[in-house]
Amino acid sequence: MAQFGGPKLVKALHFDNSAKAKLTTGINKIANAVGSTLGPSGRTVVIEDDFGNPHVTKDGVTVANSIMLKNPVENLGVAMMKQAAQQTANIAGDGTTTSIVLAQAIIDCYKRKDGESFSFRDIKSGIEKYKNLIIQELESKAVKIDNSRLDDVSTISANNDPVLGKLIADAFRKAGDNGIVAMETSPSSETYIDTVEGTKLNSTYKSHHFYSNKEKELSELDKPLVFISATDIPNVRKIQDILEFAIKSNRSILLIAPLESQPLTALAMNMVKGNIKVNVIDPPSFGLKRKDILEDLALLVGAKVFDESLGDSIDSIAPDLLGEADKAISDKDGTVLVIKEKSKEAQERIKYLKTALEKENHHVLVKHLNDRLALLCGGVSIIYVGADTDVELKEKQDRVDDAIHAVKAARKEGILPGGGSSLAYAATIDWKLDLNGGELAGIEILEEALSAPFTKILINAGLNPKDYSLKKWGEGVDVTCGDRKNMIKQGIIDPLLVTKSALNNAISVATTILSTDCVISNVREE
C-alpha cells in the first residue's frame, strides 16, 4: 500500500475565483513593471538590490527576476510569469518582455470575453490551433539575414543604442560565419572588441555544480589546462595525477572526457568545496567522427588524446597529456574555447582538410570535413563591456547580452517586421475556420491578445493605439517619429525565433493559470 508523507510546512488552500484572482493580481503587477520597458521608448526600471544599491535596467528578465511579493498566491503568479520569461530567454535569449505582455493580454482577454461560459478544453484547443496558423504564417514570411542586417537586429535589442549595436554587429562579422561572440567585463570604462582564435563545441557542463557564475549559469575558466580523452574514466584515481598537477600549478582544468558517475560526483564535490576549479564536458560527436574531432581539438590546445584503443594505459594518465586554452566558457548551449594562437600543426591540418574537401563527393563525408574545418577555423570575438559605475555596467551588460542572443536567433531562423507589427498584422488574417463555439472563443481571445506588444510599444511612446491600424504585411509604426513605415526597410526588425518563443511560452503560462482552480501555498508567519 502506498504511504503518504506529511508536508514539512503548513499549507493554505485557495479555491476557484479567489485563487485565480490573486494569481492574476500578481501577474498584472509583474507584467506592468516589465511591460513598461518595451520598445525604443520603454522606460528604465530602478531595482534595489539586497544591499540597498540601485540597479538601473531595461532588460525584461532582469526586472522580472527582481520581483517578489508578500502575498504568497500573488507571488506564485509572479513566479509563473518568470518561468515564461526565462524559458523564452533560454530558447531565444531575448523576447522576455514580449512573452510577459502577451501572457497578461491573453488572461485579460479571457476575462473580458467571458471565457468561463465555455469549456476550457475547447478554448485551449482554439488557442492552440490559431497559434499554429500564426506561426506557420510567420515562418512563411521570415526573411533570411545577411551581414548587412546585423546592425539592425543588435541595435534594437541593445535598446536602440546605435553605437553599441554597431559594435556588437562588428563582433559577429569579425568572428566569421563559424565564429563565436562572447561578453566579458572590460578592465576599464571603455567598451571594445577583441577577436582571437577559438572554437565552439556543442558539449556543455555535466553538472550545475561546475558553475563559476551561478546567476548566469556559466562555467568560466581562465587559462585552463585541458585534458582530452576518448576513453571512459571509471574513477577519480585514474586522473589523480593531472588533478594534483592542476592544483599545484594553481591552474583550473577542463576535462573533455566521458566520466562515469563516481569521478563526476567527486569532481563536483571538490569544486563546491573550492578545492579545485574544474569543468567536465562530454567529447563532441560519436564513433569514428569523434576520434577525428578530438584529434583536431588536441591540435588546437596542444594536448594529446588519451585513447585506450590505441594502446594507452588507463593507469598512466599523466600531465604530459595536457594542453591549455586561454579561456573556456560553458553555457547551456555549448562550450567556447579561446586559443591564443594556432599551432603550425593545426594550420597544416586545415590545409589537409581543405584539399580533402575539394576531392570528396560523398555528402556525408563532405559534411564531416566541413565540421572539422569549422572547428579549426573559427574565431572568437569577445566584447569587453566597460562603464564608469557598477550600476551603468550592469545595465549595459544586460543590453549586450540581449543583443548577442538576438543576432544568434536572427541568423538561425531569419527576421520579421518588428515593433510588434508581425503579430498584430497576423491577427487580422481571416482563415474562416469551421470550429465550435468554445474554439472560436479561444481564437478571439488570442486574436485580440496578439496586438498587445504593438499597443504597449505605442503607449510607452506616448502614442494613441486607436490612431494606428495595420493594413498590410510589413507595415508598422516608427515610434520615434510616429509615422507608418516599412519596418524591415527601416531596420526595425525582430528575429523569428524570438517572436515564436515569446508566443509559445506566453500561451503556455496563460492557459496553465486560466485552468487553475486551486492554489496551495505555504503559510507565512506574521
Q: What is the pLDDT of residues 62-82, one digit of tens each?
A: 888 899 999 999 999 999 999
At residue 276, the pLDDT reads: 95
pLDDT digits (tens, 9 = 90+) for 9-28: 788 898 878 888 999 999 99
The residue among 309, 215, 341, 199 whose CA lies nearest residue 256 is: 199
The chain-wide mean pLDDT, for the chain, equals: 91
Retrieve residue 524's grid coordinates: 507565512
Highest mean pLDDT among 64-68, 371-375, 451-455: 451-455
What spatial distance separates the first Cα and last Cα of the chain, rounded to whole Å?
A: 39
Residue 447, pLDDT > 80, answer: yes
Residue 191, pLDDT > 70, answer: yes
Instruction: Give 100 or 365, the one with higher predicted confidence.
Output: 100
Residue 127, pLDDT > 90, answer: yes
Q: Is 166 exposed, middle or buried (0-12, 13-18, 19+ CB in 10 A)?
A: middle
The proportion of the chain whose per-residue pLDDT surpasses 90, expressed as a percent, equals 64
Retrieve residue 157's grid coordinates: 535589442
- Predicted confidence band of residue 343 (pLDDT cuts 50, 70, 90): confident
At residue 517, the pLDDT reads: 87
The proportion of the chain whose per-residue pLDDT surpasses 70, expressed as a percent, equals 98
The residue among 153, 209, 218, 212 whose CA lies nearest residue 183 is: 218
> Any idea which residue has 492557459 for its cell?
511
Residue 104, pLDDT > 90, answer: yes
Q: Residues for the chain: how many in total?
A: 526
At residue 282, the pLDDT reads: 94
Cα distance between residue 213 and residue 196, in whole Å: 23
pLDDT digits (tens, 9 = 90+) for 222-278: 999 999 999 999 999 999 999 999 999 999 999 999 999 999 999 999 999 999 999
- Predicted confidence band of residue 3 (pLDDT cuts 50, 70, 90): low
Q: Quick one: average pLDDT of 503-518?
A: 93
522 three-state secondary structure: strand
- Predicted confidence band of residue 6 (pLDDT cuts 50, 70, 90): low
At residue 302, the pLDDT reads: 93
Q: Are strands 518-522 and 11-15 parallel, antiparallel or unpaired?
A: antiparallel
Cα distance between residue 173 and residue 151, in whole Å: 10
Residue 2, pLDDT > 70, answer: no
- Predicted confidence band of residue 5 (pLDDT cuts 50, 70, 90): low
At residue 85, the pLDDT reads: 85
- Predicted confidence band of residue 4 (pLDDT cuts 50, 70, 90): low
Give the H or E element holding residue 331.
strand 327-331
Residue 357, pLDDT > 60, answer: yes
Cβ contact 197:340 at 8 Å: yes
The residue among 258, 268, 271 whose CA lies nearest residue 228 is: 258
At residue 367, the pLDDT reads: 85
pLDDT digits (tens, 9 = 90+) for 213-223: 887 889 999 99
At residue 179, the pLDDT reads: 77
At residue 157, the pLDDT reads: 86
At residue 526, the pLDDT reads: 63
At residue 7, the pLDDT reads: 57
Residue 1, pLDDT > 70, answer: no
Contacts of 112 (CB under 8 A, 6+ apart): none
pLDDT digits (tens, 9 = 90+) for 376-405: 887 889 999 999 988 889 889 988 988 998
At residue 505, the pLDDT reads: 94
Instruction: Give 360 or 179, the one with higher predicted confidence.
Output: 360
Instruction: Give 92 or 201, the one with higher predicted confidence.
Output: 201
Domain segments of the chain: what residues? 11-143+415-522, 200-340
Contacts of 391 (CB under 8 A, 6+ apart): 53, 54, 55, 56
- Predicted confidence band of residue 360 (pLDDT cuts 50, 70, 90): confident
With DSSP H G I counted as helix, E B as strand and the rest as coil, what are the percentages for the chain, rounded to 5? 50, 15, 30
Q: Quick one: average pLDDT of 101-126?
A: 90
200-340 has which fold?
A: GroEL (3.50.7)
420: left (phi over 0), alpha (psi -120 to 50) or beta: left
pLDDT digits (tens, 9 = 90+) for 286-301: 777 899 999 999 999 9
CATH 1.10.560.10 fits domain 11-143+415-522: yes
DSSP secondary structure of 139-205: HHH-B---GGGHHHHHHHHTTS-HHHHHHHHHHHHHH-TT-EEEEEE-SSS--EEEEEEEEEES--B
Residue 506, pLDDT > 90, answer: yes
Cα 190 off chain centre by: 26
At residue 380, the pLDDT reads: 87
User: For residue 425, what are the CA distances in angstroms to 105, 431, 479?
Assistant: 16, 13, 17
- Predicted confidence band of residue 59 (pLDDT cuts 50, 70, 90): confident
Q: Quick one: average pLDDT of 176-198?
A: 88
Cα distance between residue 449 and residue 469, in whole Å: 15
